[in-house]
Amino acid sequence: MNGLERAAILLLSLGEKNAAKVLTHMDPKEVQKVGIAMSEISNISKEQVDHVVIDFLRTADKHTPIGLGKDDYIRGMLVSALGESKATKVIDRILLGGNTKGLETLKWMDSRAVAELIRNEHPQIIAIVLAYLDNDQAGDVLGQLPDITRVDVIMRIAAIDGIMPTALQELNGIMEKHFEGQSNIKSASVGGIKTAANILNSMDSSIESEIMDNIKEVDTELGDKIQDLMFVFDNLSYVGDRGIQSLLREISSDSLIMALKGSDDKLKEKFFSNMSKRAAEMLREDLEAKGPVRLSEVEYAQKEILTIARHMAEAGDISLGGSGSEEYI
């Protein structure tokens, strides 16, 4: 079972009220994914449920420090769960008492609806909104904006170096005019070159390439900096063996087969070498038996696996080095 399936089984075993409490601490994308996984589960044995629950209890026991200060515990918990970059975005809002109700509402909306909502705003407003959203949702929204706007917005995202509290409060107020309510923003840290790279990583390859070409025409140095921080599917061949083994436990065989249809032999061998002999033979056979597939399907599968890999990297489970290299310290 992969991590998503284990999470679904655990939530089903908790009971409706307890599971609902857990879901309130998850972001919209996670709720959607685990909800789908829960709906697809069937014929689970008692032994499998016991295994998931016991494994969870063991893991929780290792990550439940006693006697630490409240703030230190919250910071450590968020960094462990989300990674340093993403945790920074929420720590101040939690510990300093701020909230961003209007902007948070956007995370629960369909990407097309978000695009329509911000389409006529100033590019700087659009840039801040997209920097605040999760990367995959931001990529979907950006893909639905006019070509000329995409390049301008990505360059603005890359140039953002934190947002003044008053500016973010004003933006949140603009959003809340559509959803009602008020807010009191304390602080936030969004944007930057890495955010721009992550958003581009989540987009279709054709749109991603077009935006990068246009950025380099305007600002070659900025384009190179963004490119250096982008991580594409082929870069997985540079991830350490233990990282690949961890990744294999979190992705489905169907997604891997589809993704590898568009990969070179080096990357295929990387995955083969980190599987059991029998599993590698079966994967080779499945790849050979797989007929022609649409490029869009291959790219979708690769993006799906990359999303999982980036989430694991943020959680500290694997290491993804910039420009295709793995970093050690």
Q: What is the DSSP letter of 163?
A: B
**Whole-number CA gyration radius for the chain:** 21
Contact 272, 287 (CB under 8 A): no
- The whole-number average pLDDT for the span 289-311 is 84
Q: Residue 220 is encoded by which pair of tokens?
A: 């070659």
State the pLDDT at residue 66.
47
Residue among 104, 156, 102, 105 at smallest CA distance from 128: 156
Distance CA 105, CA 247 (A): 31
**In the block, which residue shows the tokens 């990674």?**
83
Q: Which of 3-12, 52-61, 166-175, 180-189 has the highest mean pLDDT?
A: 3-12
Q: Please tell me if the domain spanning 97-229 has the same topology as the one spanning 233-324.
A: yes
Nearest-5° Cα angle at 37, 31 to 41:
145
Distance CA 160, CA 284 (A): 45
State the pLDDT at residue 101.
58
All structural domains of the chain with their residue ranges: 3-94, 97-229, 233-324
- Give CA torsion, residues 250, 253, 256, 262, to 10 deg: 180
Residue 99: strand, helix, or coil: coil
> What is the amino acid identity at position 306?
L
State the pLDDT at residue 271.
92
150-175 pLDDT per residue, tens: 888 998 888 877 666 666 666 777 67
CATH of domain 233-324: 1.10.220.30
State the pLDDT at residue 109.
76
Contact 195, 134 (CB under 8 A): no
State the pLDDT at residue 274.
92
Give the rounded distance of the alpha carbon of 67 from its chain centre.
32
**pLDDT at 97 exceeding the cut of 60:** no
191-202 pLDDT per residue, tens: 678 778 778 877
Contact 143, 203 (CB under 8 A): yes
Out of 11-20, 76-85, 208-217, 275-284, least confident range? 76-85
Residue 188: strand, helix, or coil: strand
Residues 6+ apart with CB under 8 A from 173: 102, 182, 183
Segment (H or E) for 46: helix 46-62
Q: What is the DSSP letter of 262?
A: T
State the pLDDT at residue 273.
92
113-122 pLDDT per residue, tens: 888 888 888 8
Contact 71, 95 (CB under 8 A): yes
Contact 135, 199 (CB under 8 A): yes
Name the class of domain 97-229.
mainly alpha
80-94 pLDDT per residue, tens: 776 666 666 555 555
Contact 12, 41 (CB under 8 A): yes
Distance CA 188, CA 270 (A): 39
Distance CA 94, CA 81 (A): 15
State the pLDDT at residue 132.
79
How confident is residue 11, by pLDDT bands cut at 50, 70 and 90? confident
Mean pLDDT across the chain, nearest whole number? 76
**pLDDT at 58 exceeding the cut of 60:** yes
